Amino acid sequence: MSTPKPTAKISSDGSPLPPPAWWRSLRVDGPLPLRLGIGGASLGVLLLGWWLITRGSATEAWISPSKLPSPGAVFGALGKLIDRDLLDNVLATMARVAKGIGVAALVGVTLGVIGGTFRAIAAAVGPFVLFLRSVPMGAMLPLTVILFSIGERQKWMFIFLAVVGFVFADTVKAISSVPQRFVETAETLGASRWQVISKVLVPLALPDIVTSLRFQFGLALGYITLAEAINTDEGIGAMLNTGQNRGLIEQNYMLLIVIAGIAFLIDLTIRYLQRGFFPYRKDL
């Protein structure tokens, strides 16, 4: 569905009135530069508030530096993180996330397409998906250690289990949301079941499936730090664990900012690619 546009109103002489300003309309986006400016201003206000409550010495600051360091101290810790091989650790984390998301996409999308087309399959898989979506992933972590031992496979399988249920459910929803008239038209023209699935359902549902995977990538970046805290010396999670044990609070805060920045850049990149591949979807 595209972003709604203001409905044109007619004047007394029958000529259309200009649409109202975007801020006076419901669910209408403003110009991109203005939206970026508003987002930047929000970050500026946040940084200003952060600086105000942490400025001064340890006795003058509203919040102790041992709990919340100043922005200068946090951003100044970036150099120390680089000295701790930040780039190599980021690449190690991204490789685990990519592997887990890749397997989840292969399994979740495939089963989701089948489940969205044949509802009996969705009903059969549903209880397992409900379990994966309902159980806290922190509680699943010991189970993955038991099942897959402590190693690389345990880490990306943890990501797989964390997101595959959501990928399956979102894919079923995307397939089910394709208007029935497209299916009926294809069948009227003599399309087989396989052709309806591959030529109608999957192409029309693909933008929403990719959106689901985009969201799950950000979710996986948060989950992987749990798995990397166990028996590993590389990855962002391992760096966070080391920083906690050594009291490197400024570096840990900076690592959280790095994680958020990576998630933002990935989301921005995938959204840009989506708009290129699916130009007819104005809501992406």
Residue-wise pLDDT tens digits, 46-94: 999 999 999 888 778 898 888 999 999 999 999 999 999 999 999 999 9
The pTM score is 0.83
Structure tokens at 159: 């990501």
- Considering only CA atoms, which of 18, 154, 156, 17 is closest in space to residue 94? 156
Q: Which residue segments constitute the domains of the chain, with CATH numbers given?
A: 75-277 (1.10.3720.10)
- How far is residue 164's CA from residue 175's CA, in Å, rounded to a whole number? 16
- Tokens 């595959």 correspond to 164
- Considering only CA atoms, which of 168, 49, 65 is closest in space to residue 108? 168
Confidence tier at 235 by pLDDT (50, 70, 90): very high
pLDDT per residue as tens digits for the range 174-212: 999 999 999 999 999 999 999 999 999 999 999 999 999
- Is pLDDT at 14 greater than 90 in this prediction? no
